[in-house]
C-alpha cells in the first residue's frame, strides 16, 4: 500500500510537455468518512471529490480554499469537499431523510437540476471581502473524473486527464494536463494519454507516487516539483457558530434554545457547541456595527 499517504505531488513529464498532480489520502480520508454513515456509492463519490479538490489546489495557485460541490435532486442532495492552501481537507455528504432509494454512481441519474461546481475563494486584500470564482460543470458524463475533464477542456482549452478512486481506507487522484504552447515533442500528449489509460483504480490507490510515476512515465523524464502534506482539519469555531446564530435573527435563534441552551454540532468534524439562553440573548444586545455573518455553519 502507498507509504506516502496524505500527500500531494506535482511533477512534469519534460519530453512529453505534460504537467501533473498526484494525490493520495489515508488518515485524512478515513477521518472525513468517519463523520457520516454513508452508502458505499456516496462514500466513493465523496472520496473522489475530496481527492479532486486536493488535486486542483496543486494545479491552480490557491491562497484561500477550493471546494467541489455536487447537488442532486434524488436521495443524494449535497456532496461537498474542500481543500485549503494550507493543505487541510474536509468533506460531507447529505442525503434526503425520507428517501431510501439506491444512489447511483452515474452523475446523469442524480435528477433534474443536478449540478457540479468548483469554487475558488481567495483571501483578497487586507480589509476587503474575499474574492470568489465559481465554475459550473455540466453533468453529461457518468463519472466525476469525466465531468472534470470536460470542464478543464472547456474552461482552459487544454487537454486534461483525470483518474479518481476511493475505497474504505484510501482516496486518490491523478491529473495530467498538456502544457500550453509547444513544449514537448509532437506525440507527447498522445503518448502520455495512452500510458495514463493503462493505470487501474486499485493501482492508483496502492502505489506510492515514485512507483506510480516511474512505472507509467519513466521514458518521458519524470521531474518531481515537490510535494505538500495534506491533513483533515475543520474551520469551525465558537465564533463562527455565534455568527451563524446571530445571522438567524432573534426569533429563530431563541427558537433554537431547548432546555435552556442551543446545542449545535458541526457536521464536518462532530465538534459540539453549547450556548446558554443568556449567551444567545447577548448576541443581539451587544453594541457595535452590524456584522455580516455566514448563513450556515462553515
Residue percentage of the chain with pLDDT more than 90: 50
The answer, yes or no, to whether residue 130 has pLDDT greater than 80, is no
The predicted structure's pLDDT at residue 103: 86
Strands (E), 142-236: 160-166, 171-178, 222-229, 231-232
Of residues 109 and 205, the one with the higher pLDDT is 205
pLDDT category, 132, cuts 50, 70, 90? confident
Query: Which residues, at least 6 apart from 245, have a Cβ–Cβ distance to it below 8 Å?
Result: 253, 256, 262, 264, 275, 280, 283
CA atoms of 122 and 127, how far apart (whole Å): 13
pLDDT category, 297, cuts 50, 70, 90? very low
Identify the residue whose cell numbers are 431510501. 100
The predicted structure's pLDDT at residue 47: 97
Count of C-beta atoms within a 10 Å radius of residue 292: 8
**What one-character DSSP code corresponds to residue 129?**
P
pLDDT category, 201, cuts 50, 70, 90? very high
- The overall average pLDDT reported for the chain is 88
**24-39 mean pLDDT:** 93
Least confident of 40-49, 131-140, 196-205: 131-140
CA atoms of 142 and 175, how far apart (whole Å): 18
Strands (E), 179-271: 222-229, 231-232, 261-265
The predicted structure's pLDDT at residue 170: 96
The answer, yes or no, to whether residue 13 has pLDDT greater than 80, is yes
**18-37 mean pLDDT:** 94
Facing residues of 27 across strands?
A: none
Query: Which residues, at least 6 apart from 251, have a Cβ–Cβ distance to it below 8 Å?
Result: none
Least confident of 27-36, 96-105, 118-127, 173-182: 118-127
The predicted structure's pLDDT at residue 131: 83
- Provide the whole-model pTM: 0.84
Of residues 111 and 243, the one with the higher pLDDT is 243
CA atoms of 104 and 108, how far apart (whole Å): 9
The answer, yes or no, to whether residue 210 has pLDDT greater than 80, is yes
Identify the residue whose cell numbers are 496502492. 206
Count of C-beta atoms within a 10 Å radius of residue 228: 16
**12-21 mean pLDDT:** 93
Q: Phi, psi (5° rounding) for residue 242?
A: -60, -40
Q: How far is CA 150 from the centre of its chain?
A: 18
CA atoms of 256 and 263, how far apart (whole Å): 8
Amino acid at each position: 500500500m502507498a507509504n506516502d499517504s496524505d500527500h500531494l505531488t506535482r511533477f512534469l513529464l519534460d519530453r512529453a510537455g505534460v504537467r501533473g498532480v498526484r494525490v493520495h489520502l489515508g488518515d485524512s480520508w478515513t477521518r472525513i468518512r468517519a463523520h457520516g454513515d454513508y452508502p458505499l456509492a456516496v462514500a466513493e463519490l465523496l472520496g473522489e471529490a475530496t481527492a479532486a479538490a486536493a488535486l486542483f489546489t496543486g494545479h491552480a495557485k490557491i491562497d484561500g480554499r477550493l471546494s467541489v460541490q455536487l447537488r442532486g435532486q434524488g436521495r443524494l442532495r449535497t456532496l461537498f469537499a474542500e481543500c485549503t492552501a494550507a493543505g487541510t481537507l474536509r468533506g460531507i455528504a447529505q442525503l434526503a431523510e425520507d428517501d431510501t432509494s439506491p444512489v447511483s454512481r452515474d452523475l446523469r441519474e442524480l435528477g433534474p437540476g443536478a449540478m457540479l461546481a468548483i469554487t475558488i475563494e481567495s483571501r483578497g486584500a487586507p480589509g476587503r471581502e474575499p474574492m470568489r470564482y465559481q465554475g459550473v460543470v455540466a453533468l453529461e458524463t457518468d463519472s466525476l473524473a469525466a465531468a472534470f475533464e470536460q470542464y478543464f477542456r472547456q474552461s482552459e482549452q487544454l487537454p486534461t486527464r483525470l483518474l479518481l478512486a476511493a475505497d474504505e481506507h484510501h482516496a486518490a487522484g491523478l491529473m495530467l494536463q498538456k502544457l500550453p504552447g509547444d513544449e514537448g515533442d509532437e506525440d507527447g500528449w498522445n503518448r502520455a494519454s495512452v500510458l495514463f489509460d493503462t493505470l487501474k483504480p486499485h493501482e492508483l490507490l496502492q502505489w506510492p507516487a515514485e512507483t506510480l510515476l516511474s512505472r507509467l512515465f519513466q521514458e518521458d523524464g519524470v521531474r518531481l516539483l515537490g510535494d505538500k502534506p495534506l491533513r483533515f482539519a475543520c474551520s469551525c469555531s465558537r465564533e463562527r457558530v455565534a455568527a451563524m446564530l446571530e445571522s438567524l435573527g432573534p426569533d429563530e435563534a431563541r427558537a433554537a434554545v431547548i432546555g435552556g441552551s442551543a446545542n449545535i454540532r458541526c457536521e464536518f468534524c462532530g465538534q459540539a457547541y453549547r450556548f446558554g439562553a443568556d449567551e444567545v440573548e447577548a448576541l443581539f444586545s451587544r453594541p457595535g456595527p452590524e456584522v455580516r455573518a455566514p448563513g450556515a455553519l462553515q
